[in-house]
Each structure stands twice: as structure tokens, then as C-alpha cells.
């Protein structure tokens, strides 16, 4: 952000007052996020569908793409591996009938899908996508991320309640219970890298992991924190094996049972972006963020490489999500809560305590 404003200043500084330059800079950053987030969402749905298909010995969507449109177009070469499938999905979603339950809370029913996307997009503001490439460098970035992303829970509760459907209500109740429980171990795991870096700023945390000194390799404390964070994050974004709020085989689709068309798609978007965000956050906090070979090179190459490494790591983590989704069954409500409170919370609490001790001892030794 600072970089952007500096550049704009150099370019427009003479013509415009300072506040206008800052405003233009903000507008550019917001536009970029608004473009980037749906693109990531589309790519993730494609990755999920193609990935799951391959795990199950299938091909997955391969009919949409920019291929030669002759009669035998798919015989030899699959056009672009169906990369345009999300676009086709989007078109389909737009053509669907928009259903609002008669007995539901109509206002809340309309608001919920919009509100589902907002917190997800807000988190994008602080994620460092590359070297010096974050929209805002908050010095309390971690706290901001946790605070904003937990809003999603509230939205799902609203969606489930406003639908006035028993399945939706069950789904919403499960969501609330699940997210409240898993927020605790997730935040406690996030404390570990924060203690290591002695900063709440995401940029500082990344720059304190140069080379391969990623916090996940700080055995055993960092590794354990990464594992617990990953597990809690799976639950936090309703992913298999903790996808109870939308368990299709039990409560149809949970809180989105009564949603159709683009509203349904918006919930999906919020969910997928949240999934990407927990991967991105794990990348930033444990896997060195944008650190990687070649980021030290000056000029645009270094910047591009840093972005490249960030996305490689984040999507690799998402692939792990897909892998798990293709393999494991789902837990039950009581088991889920038991796992959070009886296993994860004690482990993470102990981990935070040990990390704190280790950091203090280490600084004493150094001093």
C-alpha cells in the first residue's frame, strides 16, 4: 500500500492533493481485491472438482474451455481442462429461480448471502500476497484476521434462522456450536508464531522467517502449532471431516437448504474464500509466506517471485484440503465438540505455555 501511494505520488503528486492520491490508491487496492477474490474462488472450485474427480478415478469437468469447437473436439485434447467450468456454473446460477421462503424472515434472508462474502473480502486487506504487497499493513493483523473472519459464523446463523426451515436451523445451530468451539484452539495456535516473531503484524511475521526458517520447522512447538491450526482451520471453514453444518447426507444442505441461484453461489463464494484464507494465513504464519528462492532479486522479478511462492504454498495447502475431502468420512456432532474441547484446547494451551517459556528462556540465554 505504501509502495503504491509512493508510486502514485511520484506520478500524480504535482496534479492532485495528497488526500486524493491516497484515495486513488485505496480505490486501486480495493478493486484489485474485488477482482482477485472471485478469481481465486473460481479457481478453487475448479481445483476441488478436478482434484476430487482424480482421487476417485474420474476425469471431472472437461467440457468447458477454449478449445477447437469442431465436432470431435474432445476426442484428442480436452479443451483447457475445463478451466472455464466456474464461468458456466456462474451462468447457470444466474438463470436459477430465486426462492425466498414465505414464512421466513425475508430481509435477513436477503442480507445473509451478501454479508457472507463481506468478512471474507475484508480479511484480504491484510494478507501479504508478496513482498510489501498487502493492502494495509496493520500492526495487529493477526487479531484483525481472527476478529473479522469469525463474523462468518454470525452470518451463517442468520441464514439458518431466516430460512425458517428445520434443516437450516439444525445446520445453523451446528455451525454456531462448531465455530465457537474451534475458534479457541485456532486462536491459541496462532499465538505460537506470534510469540516467535514477537509481532502481531502479518508482514513482520513473514519477514522474520527468511530462507527456510519457517515456523513450521521449529520442532516441536511450531510443528505442533501448525498441525493444531490446520485441524482447527478445517473445522472453522466447515471442511471435511468437520463439514457437519452442511452435511448433505444428513441435513440436506444445512443453512443453505433454502437458498438458490446466486444467493447460494454467494454462500459458496464466502466459504471457498474463507477456505483459501485459512490456507493463506497458514502460509503466512507457518510456511514463510512469500519467502522463497529468488525473492531477494530487486525490481519486479523479486516481487513477482514472492507472489508466486505465496500462491504456490497456499494452493498446495488447499490441495491438502481436497485430498482430505476425497478420503475421510465426517465426524458426529458430539464427537466434534469432544475433539475440540478435550483434545485440541488442552494441547494448544500447553503449546502456548511451552512456547512462551521457550521464548523467554531463549532470550535470557541470548542476553
Under the rule (CB under 8 A), what is the footprint of another protein?
51-52, 54-59, 72, 74-75, 166-167, 170, 174, 240-241, 243-244, 247-252, 323-335
CA 36-216-212 angle, 5° bins: 85
Q: How far is CA 259 from CA 263, 265, 340, in A?
A: 6, 9, 30
Min dist CB 30 to another protein, Å, is 36
**What grid cell was written down for 339?**
475433539
Q: Which is nearer to another protein, 113 or 245 (CB)?
A: 245
Residue located via cell numbers 498446495: 316
Helices (H) and strands (E) in the chain, counts: 14, 0
d(CA 21, CA 2): 11
Min dist CB 85 to another protein, Å, is 15
d(CA 260, CA 69): 32
Q: Indicate the burial class of 1 (C-beta count within 10 angstroms; 0-12, 13-18, 19 or more).
A: middle
Q: Which is nearer to another protein, 256 or 331 (CB)?
A: 331
Q: Which is nearer to another protein, 54 or 213 (CB)?
A: 54
d(CA 316, CA 41): 15
With CA atoms as reference, report the closest residue to 120 among 152, 146, 83.
Answer: 152
Min dist CB 155 to another protein, Å, is 22
Q: Which is nearer to another protein, 196 or 321 (CB)?
A: 321
Min dist CB 179 to another protein, Å, is 16
Min dist CB 292 to another protein, Å, is 25
Min dist CB 55 to another protein, Å, is 5
Min dist CB 71 to another protein, Å, is 9
Min dist CB 293 to another protein, Å, is 26
Q: Which is nearer to another protein, 52 or 307 (CB)?
A: 52
Q: Which is nearer to another protein, 224 or 305 (CB)?
A: 224
With CA atoms as reference, report the closest residue to 149 among 191, 170, 119, 171.
Answer: 119
Q: Which is nearer to another protein, 6 or 327 (CB)?
A: 327
Q: Which is nearer to another protein, 57 or 102 (CB)?
A: 57
d(CA 209, CA 274): 24
Q: Which residues of 277-313 are buried (b: 16+ CB within 10 A; e: fewer)?
A: bbbbbbbbbbbbbbbbeebeeeeeebbebbbebbbeb
Min dist CB 319 to another protein, Å, is 10
Q: Which is nearer to another protein, 4 or 247 (CB)?
A: 247
Give every CB contact of residue 318 below 8 A, 6+ residues apart in sequence: 44, 47, 275, 276, 279
Q: Please name the helix (run of DSSP H) or strand (run of DSSP E) that holds residue 68, with its range, or none.
A: none
Amino acid at each position: 500500500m505504501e509502495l503504491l501511494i509512493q508510486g502514485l505520488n511520484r506520478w500524480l503528486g504535482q496534479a492532485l492533493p495528497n488526500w486524493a492520491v491516497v484515495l486513488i490508491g485505496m480505490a486501486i487496492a480495493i478493486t484489485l481485491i474485488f477482482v482477485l477474490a472471485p478469481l481465486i474462488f473460481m479457481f478453487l472450485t475448479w481445483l476441488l472438482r478436478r482434484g476430487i474427480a482424480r482421487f476417485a478415478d474420474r476425469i471431472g469437468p472437461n467440457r468447458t474451455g477454449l478449445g477447437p469447437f469442431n465436432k470431435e473436439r474432445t476426442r484428442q485434447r480436452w479443451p483447457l481442462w475445463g478451466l472455464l467450468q466456474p464461468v458456466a456454473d456462474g451462468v447457470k446460477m444466474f438463470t436459477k429461480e430465486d426462492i425466498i421462503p414465505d414464512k421466513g424472515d425475508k430481509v435477513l434472508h436477503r442480507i445473509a448471502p451478501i454479508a457472507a462474502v463481506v468478512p471474507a473480502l475484508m480479511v484480504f486487506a491484510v494478507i501479504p500476497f508478496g513482498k510489501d504487497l498487502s493492502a494495509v499493513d496493520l500492526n495487529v493483523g493477526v487479531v484483525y484476521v481472527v476478529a473479522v473472519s469469525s463474523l462468518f459464523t454470525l452470518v451463517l446463523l442468520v441464514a439458518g434462522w431466516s430460512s425458517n426451515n428445520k434443516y437450516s436451523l439444525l445446520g445453523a445451530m451446528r455451525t454456531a456450536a462448531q465455530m465457537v468451539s474451534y475458534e479457541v484452539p485456532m486462536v491459541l495456535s496462532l499465538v505460537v508464531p506470534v510469540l516467535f516473531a514477537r509481532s502481531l503484524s502479518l508482514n513482520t511475521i513473514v519477514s522474520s522467517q527468511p530462507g527456510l526458517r519457517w515456523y513450521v520447522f521449529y520442532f516441536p512447538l511450531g510443528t505442533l502449532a501448525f498441525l493444531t491450526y490446520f485441524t482447527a482451520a478445517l473445522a472453522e471453514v466447515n471442511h471435511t471431516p468437520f463439514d457437519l453444518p452442511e452435511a448433505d447426507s444428513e441435513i440436506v444442505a444445512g443453512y443453505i437448504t433454502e437458498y438458490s441461484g446466486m444467493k447460494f453461489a454467494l454462500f459458496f463464494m464466502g466459504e471457498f474464500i474463507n477456505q483459501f484464507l485459512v490456507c493463506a494465513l497458514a502460509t503466512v504464519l507457518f510456511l514463510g509466506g512469500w519467502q522463497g528462492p529468488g525473492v531477494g532479486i530487486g525490481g519486479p522479478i523479486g516481487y513477482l517471485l514472492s507472489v508466486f511462492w505465496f500462491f504456490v504454498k497456499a494452493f498446495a495447502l488447499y490441495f491438502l484440503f481436497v485430498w482430505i475431502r476425497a478420503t475421510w468420512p465426517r465426524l458426529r456432532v458430539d464427537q466434534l465438540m469432544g475433539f475440540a474441547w478435550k483434545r485440541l484446547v488442552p494441547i494448544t494451551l500447553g503449546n502456548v505455555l511451552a512456547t512462551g517459556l521457550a521464548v523467554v528462556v531463549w532470550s535470557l540465554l541470548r542476553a
